[in-house]
Structure 1
Amino acid sequence: MKHSDYYGYALFFLALVILPSFLDSRWQAVATTFIIFTIVALSQDVVLGKSGMFNMGQALFFGLGAYTSAICNTKLGMPLLASVPLAIIIPAFFGIILAGPIIHLRGDYLLVVTIGFNIVFVQALQNNLLGLTGGPNGIFGIDTLQIPGVDSGSQAAVYYICLAALVMVLMMLKNLETSKAGRALHYFREDPLAAESIGINTRAYKIFAFALGAGIAGLAGTLYANQYSAVSPEAFDFVQSVLFFSIVIVGGSSVPGIVLGVFVMFVLPEIFRDFATWRYFIFGFAMIFTMILRPCGIWPATYGKVPAYILKGKQHGKK
C-alpha cells in the first residue's frame, strides 16, 4: 500500500471519529447502522469479491449472530459482551456446515441454494424455533454492550463501539490479503483450474472463505442487536441479502468501493426518505446505469495500478 493510501484511510477514519459531533441522535443512529452494514458488506466481499462465489444468503449469518447474542442475553442472562465470541463462532460453524455440501456448485446454482438457506432461516425464526426466537415479533429488551469505562447507554458510545469493531475487521482483512490464504483465494477466484493445478486445495479455501465471512457477519449481528435492543426475522430476510450482495456489486470489491456501496445503497435512500414514492424508482435506474458504465463497481479492486476488470480483460486477449 502506498503512503497516499495510508493518508487517505487516516483522513477517512478521522472524519468518522468526529462525525457524531455534527449529527443529531437520528443521524447518529443512521451513521451507526452505516458502519454495521459496512462490516456485513466486508463479510460478503470475502465470499463474493475475494473468492468469486455467488452467495446471496449473507443475511442468514448476520441474523444468526444477532439472534445468538439476543438469546444468550435475554434467555440465559449472559452479558452481551460475553456473547460476542459465540456470535462469531456459531455463524462460522454454520458457514462450514452449510458450505460443505454445496461448495462444488458455481454461479447461479450456488446463488439459488444460498437464497434457499436464507429463506429457511427466516421461516425457522418466524416459527419460534425451539421456543427461543420469539416468532414473528422477535426478541426485545436486549441489554447494551457494557464495556468498562464507557458510557455505553448513549448513541455516540454505540457508534464508537461499532467503529472500533470496523477498524479491527479491516486490520484482519488487510492481513488476510497478504497471507497465504488470501493469495489462494485470489488465485482460485481468477482461475480455479489453474489454482488446483499448482496444488491449492480450492475446496478447503472456499469453505474457509464461507466460515470467515459468516463469522464477521455474526460480529455485525451482535452490534445490530446492541444498536436496536431488539431483533426480528424481517431484518435478516432475503431482501437484506440482496442489499449486501448489491453493495459489493455496485461499489466494487475494495474497501473504498464497499464504503461507497453502503453509502449509495443505504444512506442515500435515508437522505431521500421524504421522496418515498419515487426514490426507489430513481434508485433502480441509477443502479442500472452504474452497472452499464462500471460493470466491476464504482471503485473496483486493483492490482498495482491496474483495475481488476481491465487486467482480467487483457488476460483474455481483450482491449
Structure 2
Amino acid sequence: MNMIKKYGKYIVMVILLALVIYLSFNSYFVFVGINALINAIAVMGIVIISGYAKQLHLGQSAFMGIGAYTSAILMTKAGLNFWLTIPVAMVISGLFGWVLSIPTLKLKGGSYLALVTQTFGEIIYVLLLNMVWLTNGPFGISGIKAPTIGPIDFTGLQPYFFLCMAILIIVYIALKRIVKVKFGRFFISIRESEEAAQSIGINTRKYKMVAFVIATSIAGLAGVLYGPFIGYLSPEQFRWQPSLILVSMAIVGGLYSLEGGIIGAILLTFLPELLRSTDQLRMILYGVIVILTLAFLPDGIVSLFGKKPKEIKKMLSAQWDMLSDKTLRRKKKKIKAARMSGK
C-alpha cells in the first residue's frame, strides 16, 4: 500500500497514456506505443549506469540483442515457454555485461567504457551474423509468437501493449526501490565524486560493476519483449546506432531520473514518427533535440516538472546567459591568441 502511495502518480500517468493510445482506435499508434514502452525499459537501464553511476554506455542495443536472441532461440529451437526465457535472457545479458565490465572499469574515465561498449555492439552484430548454426545468420529468426497466461492470449497489438505496460511498471518500481536503498546512495556518491566515495570506504569499482550488470540485464528484458512484438529478429536491428538513440532518449528526458528516462523514450519514439518518410530528417531531429536539451535543460525535460511558468522562464534565461557568457569568453580568448601570434 505504501508503495502505491509513493509511486501512484507516476503509475497513473502511464496508465492514462495507455488509455489515450488504446482509445485512439489507431493500430499504428498502438504499434508505436509498444515500441516506446520497450525503449523506456531499455532507457531506464541507461539511467542506472550513466545517470546514477556516471559511466557512459553506448552498447545497450547489443545487450537487447543478446536478450532477444536468447529468448527467441529458446522458444523456437528448445520449445521453452516465453516466461521461462525471461530470467535466462536477463542472466545471460547481465553475465555478458559483468564480463565486459571487468577489464573496462579498470581504465580511468567513462569515455573508455563508451568506446568499449560501442565496439562490443559491433562484435555482437558480427557474431549474430556469422553464427548461422545458432542465429540463422543474416536470415534471422522468424515465427516468434506472443506469450499466453492460461486463457489470456497476448497476440495482437492491444493485448501486447498492456503486457509491456505492466512490465514497464514492475521494472520501474523495482529500480526505484534499488536507487532508494544502499546501492542507489552509493551510485549517487560515485556520480558526485568518485574520489570522495573511495575516501569513505566505498568500493567504487564493485558498485559500478553492479550498475552495469543491472543496466545490461534490463536491456536483456527489453530484448525479450522486442522479439514477439516484431515477430522477427535480424542482426541489423541491434547495431550501435540504436544505442545512440536510447542514450539520446535518456538525455532528453533526464539522465538522472527513471521518470526522465520514461518521458524521453516516449517523446523521442513518437515525435520522429512525424518525419517517418525521411530517415535522414529523423536523425537530424534527434540531434537538434539533444543539442537544445543539453544547452537549455541539462537535467532533461523532467526538470520542468513542478515548476511554475515564471520559474521555467527564469531557468531558461539563466541558462541562455551562461551560454552567452561562455561564448563571449571564448571569443575574447581567440582574439587575445590572435594578437599574441601577430606579435
Equivalent of 2:77, from 75, 78, 94?
Answer: 75
Give the match for residue 95 of structure 2.
Answer: 93
| 5+ residue gaps, structure 1 | 303-319
Larger Rg: 2
Give the match for residue 241 of structure 1.
Answer: 243
| AA matched with 1:152 | F
Distance of aligned partners of 1:57 and 1:279 in 2 relative to their CA distance in 1, 3 Å threshold: closer
Equivalent of 1:208, from 193, 207, 210?
Answer: 210
- Using the TM superposition, name which of 33-42 and 286-295 deviates more: 286-295
Structure with the larger helix share: 2
Q: Quick one: distance in 2 between partners of 1:275 and 1:142? A: 29
Equivalent of 1:135, from 134, 137, 142?
Answer: 137
Q: Quick one: distance in 2 between partners of 1:169 and 1:291? A: 27
Distance of aligned partners of 1:13 and 1:286 in 2 relative to their CA distance in 1, 3 Å threshold: closer
Q: Quick one: distance in 2 between partners of 1:24 and 1:143? A: 22
Shift of 1:227: 0.7
Q: Quick one: distance in 2 between partners of 1:92 and 1:203? A: 16
Shift of 1:147: 1.5
- Asked whether the 8 Å contact 1:252–1:301 carries over to 2, the reply is no
Give the match for residue 12 of structure 1.
Answer: 13
Shift of 1:142: 1.1
Shift of 1:222: 0.7
- Using the TM superposition, name which of 175-184 and 248-257 deviates more: 248-257
| AA matched with 1:12 | M
Distance of aligned partners of 1:43 and 1:97 in 2 relative to their CA distance in 1, 3 Å threshold: same
1:160 matched to 2:162? The reply is yes
Give the match for residue 338 of structure 2.
Answer: none
Shift of 1:151: 2.2
| AA matched with 1:42 | M
Give the match for residue 295 of structure 1.
Answer: 298
Give the match for residue 285 of structure 1.
Answer: 288
Classify the secondary structure of the residue corresponding to 1:199: coil
Shift of 1:5: 7.6
1:270 matched to 2:273? The reply is yes
Give the match for residue 55 of structure 1.
Answer: 57
CA RMSD of aligned residues (A): 2.7
Q: Quick one: distance in 1 between partners of 2:279 and 2:232? A: 25
Distance of aligned partners of 1:95 and 1:10 in 2 relative to their CA distance in 1, 3 Å threshold: closer
Classify the secondary structure of the residue corresponding to 1:189: helix
Superposed CA offset, 1:221-277 (max 9, x none): 110012111111111110011111111122212233212311332211113324656
- Asked whether the 8 Å contact 2:7–2:173 carries over to 1, the reply is no
The list of structure 1 runs, each at least 4 consecutive aligned residues, that deviate by more than 3 angstroms after superposition, is: 3-8, 274-283
Superposed CA offset, 1:140-198 (max 9, x none): 11121122231211211111111111011011111112211111111111111111111
Matches within 5 A, 1:84-233: 84-105=86-107, 106-128=109-131, 131-233=133-235
| 5+ residue gaps, structure 2 | 306-343
Instruction: Tell me the TM-score normalized by structure 2.
Output: 0.82
Shift of 1:11: 3.2
Q: Quick one: distance in 1 between partners of 2:177 and 2:13? A: 20
Distance of aligned partners of 1:298 and 1:101 in 2 relative to their CA distance in 1, 3 Å threshold: same
Instruction: Tell me the TM-score normalized by structure 1.
Output: 0.88
Aligned residues: 305
Classify the secondary structure of the residue corresponding to 1:184: helix
- Asked whether the 8 Å contact 1:79–1:146 carries over to 2, the reply is no
Q: Quick one: distance in 2 between partners of 1:91 and 1:29? A: 26
Q: Quick one: distance in 1 between partners of 2:110 and 2:303? A: 20
Classify the secondary structure of the residue corresponding to 1:132: helix
Shift of 1:122: 0.6
| AA matched with 2:140 | G
1:30 matched to 2:32? The reply is yes
Q: Quick one: distance in 2 between partners of 1:135 and 1:281? A: 31
Identity of aligned residues (%): 35
| AA matched with 1:148 | G
Classify the secondary structure of the residue corresponding to 2:75: helix
- Using the TM superposition, name which of 106-115 and 234-243 deviates more: 106-115
- Asked whether the 8 Å contact 2:36–2:270 carries over to 1, the reply is yes
Distance of aligned partners of 1:70 and 1:59 in 2 relative to their CA distance in 1, 3 Å threshold: same
Shift of 1:28: 1.0
| AA matched with 2:88 | L
